[in-house]
Chain A
Amino acid sequence: MNNPDLSTGLGPIELKNPVLTASGTAGYGLELRPFFDIAELGGIVTKAVTPEPRVGNPPPRLWETSCGLLNSIGLENVGLAAFLKDILPLLQKINTRVIVNVAGRTEDEYLEVVRGLNGNEGIAGLEINISCPNVKQGGIAFGTDPVMAAALIKKVRAATDYPLIAKLPPNVTDIVIIAERVMEAGADVVSLINTLKGLAVDVNTRKPCLATITGGLSGPAIKPVALRMVHEVYQALKIPILGGGGIMTADDALEFIICGAGAVSVGTAIFRDPKAPLNIAQGIKSYLAKNNIGGIRNLIGSIDLS
C-alpha cells in the first residue's frame, strides 16, 4: 500500500490525519511554525481559554520526575477577548483543524467562553477541560463528579453548536461511568487523559518541589494508565475518543489507536522535540504502508483480545 489513507474522524470532526497537539503544550499552535508546516497536522488543540486573562501559578511550576513531568501552570492564558482578536484570525489562515480548549472556575465561566466563541469561522470543535488539576476551584471538581460533569456538559451543549470534546481527568475511580454520563449529556467525543495529579518533595528542605504543592503528571510515565483508560472506555462504550498521555513515538500513538482512539494528542514530547507531532504522523503513515493497511480507520479499536 503506497499511499495509505490517514484521514480519520472524531465524531463529527473530520481530520486529515490522526495527530493533534495537546492543549497547553504547543501554545496556540502558531509557536510551532518555525519548525514545520503545522497544516501537516490533523489539528491543533489550543492552550485553555478562560473568560478573563489569567497570570497563572507562582513558580516553581515544573518538576521533572522519572520519565515524567509535573506541571502546575495554572491555566495562564490571554483570556477570551485577546484570543478572539489576536489569535483566532491567525489560526483561521492555517489549513488544519483548530480545537479550542475551554476552562473556567464556575459553570458560568465555561458558558461565557463558549458563547464568546460561537459564530466564529475556523473552529472545528471545543475541548471542555473539566479536568485541570492545577486550579483551586472548578477544573477537576467538575471532572471527578459524574453528576457535575454531566450537568456542565449539558449546559454547554445547549449553548453551542460546535462539536464538543469532554476532556476527562484520570483521577477517578471509574472512567467509564463519567465518560458515559458526559456522552449522554451531549458530548460528541471524550478526550482521555489529562494529567495525573502528583507530588514531589525535596528531601533536603522537606518542601514540595512545586509552589502549588501538587501538580499534573504527564509524559511516558503515564502512558500505560492512559492506554488502559482508552481501552476500558472504548470496550464499554465504543464512542469517539481523542487519546493521549505520554505519546512520544508513532508506536505509542498506534497503541492508542489500536485500543480505540480515533485520533491522538501529543504533548510533553514537544518539549523534547518540537517536531514530534509531525514525526509521529509520518511514522504512522510508514507503519500503515509497511503493514499493507489501507487506512487509519481500519486500525481504530482493532486490538486482538482473542
Chain B
Amino acid sequence: MLAEQAKILENRDRGAGVFLLKLGSPLVARQARVGQFVQLLISENYDPLLRRPFCFYNIDQDNGQIEVLYQVVGTGTELLSRKKAGEKLSVFGPLGRGFEIEPDLESAILIGGGIGWAALNKIHHKLALRDIHYVPFFGARDLGFYQAIGAGEVIPIPPGNIATDDGSYGYHGFITELVEAKINEEFHFSKPTIFACGPNPMLKAVQALAGKYDLKAQISLEARMACGFGVCLGCAVKKAHGEGYFKVCHDGPVFNADEVELSKI
C-alpha cells in the first residue's frame, strides 16, 4: 500500500463511455493482486475532492504496468477520460482483499455484469488456464456495451453464455438465469465456486443461487469511499451474521457471498 506518481501510457476510448487506462506504476504493480483496487487522484484542485476507486483490470508485473477499465458516470470519471498519455496520475494502492483461488479448486463459474467485468478480467485469464471445469458468463445492457467492455476478447466466453438486457446480443434476460440452467445441466457431480462482480441486483441473484445450490461464491462489492484504507469507516456494508458492518475497502472489496447483507449496502 503506497502512493506513486504513475505515468499514463494510454487512455483509450473503447466506445459506449468505456475507457481503458494503462499506467506505468511499477511499485503498485509489484504488490498488486487479483481483485484488489487502487484509488486514483483525478483532480489537482479540490473538485472532485476525493480519490476514485478502480479495480485492477490487468496487472503486468514484468513491465511495471497496471490497467484500469472504467465507465464514465460522473464528474471524476469524465475528467479522467480527458487525460492524455504522458500525463502523471497519483495512484494509491494496492488496496483491500482480493479474490482467493483455492489450490484444490475443481470447478468454477465466473459471472460478470457490465463494468463489473473490470474486476474479473484477470481472474478469467487465470481460471481459463487451469485444468479445471470452468465456465464464464457475462451480462450487459446491450450489444454496444458488451463490445466496449470487451469481455472475453483475449480468452473467449462462449456466445451462449452472454446475455443482454435488451436482447440485442445473446440471451435476452438476466445472466443469472443462464447460470442456473448451466448448473442444472453440467454441474451434477461437482460444486463450482462462483466468482462474481456486477451491479447489486445481479450480486443479490448470485447470493440466492449460491444459497439454493449450496455453492461457495466470492463477490466483489462497491461502496462510496473516502480514504480507501480503513480509517474513515465510511464504506460500510452490513454483516449477514452478527451486528455491525464490514468496511468494503479493508475487509473487501471481495467477500464470501454469505458474509454480507446487500440490501443494506
Contacts and interface: CB of A to CB of B under 8 A. Distances in A.
A and B: bona fide binding partners: yes
A62 B225 contact: yes
A61 B234 contact: yes
Contact of B49 (A32, A35, A47, A69): A69
A155 B237 CA distance: 38
A71 B234 contact: yes
Nearest to B247: A76
Which 6 residue pairs spanning A and B have beta carbons closest together?
A: A55-B244, A62-B234, A27-B231, A67-B46, A271-B226, A59-B236
Contact of B226 (A57, A71, A220): A71
A105 interface: no
A31 B237 contact: no
Interface in A30-84: 31-32, 34-35, 47, 55-64, 66-69, 71, 73, 76
A35 B226 contact: no
B238 interface: yes
Interface of A: 24-27, 31-32, 34-35, 47, 55-64, 66-69, 71, 73, 76, 219-220, 248, 268, 270-275
Interface in B1-26: 1-3
B223 A66 contact: no
Given A59-B235, A67-B46, A272-B51, 10 more contacts: A24-B232, A25-B232, A35-B2, A59-B264, A64-B50, A66-B47, A67-B47, A73-B234, A76-B233, A270-B231
Contact of A58 (B3, B46, B230, B238): B238
A36 B233 CA distance: 21
18 contacts: A31-B230, A31-B231, A34-B2, A35-B2, A56-B245, A59-B237, A61-B233, A62-B234, A64-B226, A67-B47, A69-B49, A69-B50, A73-B233, A76-B233, A220-B46, A271-B51, A271-B232, A274-B92
B82 to A, nearest CB: 19
Given A68-B49, A69-B49, A220-B49, A59 B226 contact: no
A49 to B, nearest CB: 14
Contacts of B46: 67, 219-220, 248
Contacts of B234: 61-62, 71, 73
B237 A25 contact: no
The interface size bin for chain B is 20 to 34
Contacts of B233: 24, 47, 56, 61, 73, 76
B51 to A, nearest CB: 6
B3 A273 contact: yes
B148 interface: no
Contacts of A25: 227, 231-232
Interface string B207-232: 00000000000000001111111111
Most buried by A among B92, B224, B225: B224
Contacts of B244: 55-56
B245 A59 contact: yes
B41 interface: yes
A32 B227 CA distance: 11
A59 B265 contact: yes
B231 A64 contact: no
B243 interface: yes
B48 interface: yes
Contacts of B1: 34
A219 to B, nearest CB: 6
A62 to B, nearest CB: 4
Contacts of A27: 230-231
A103 B38 CA distance: 33
Nearest to A32: B231
A56 B47 CA distance: 28
A19 B65 CA distance: 36
A76 B245 contact: yes
A76 B236 CA distance: 11
Contacts of A73: 232-234
A268 B49 contact: yes
A196 to B, nearest CB: 15
Contact of A270 (B49, B90, B227, B236): B227
Nearest to A220: B46
Given A34-B1, A63-B224, A69-B50, A55 B245 contact: yes
Contacts of B92: 274
A62 B226 contact: yes
Interface in B75-129: 90, 92
A225 to B, nearest CB: 16
Contacts of B228: 271
Contacts of A69: 49-50, 226
Nearest to B234: A62
Contacts of B227: 25, 270-271, 274
Contacts of B49: 64, 67-69, 219-220, 268, 272
A61 B224 CA distance: 8
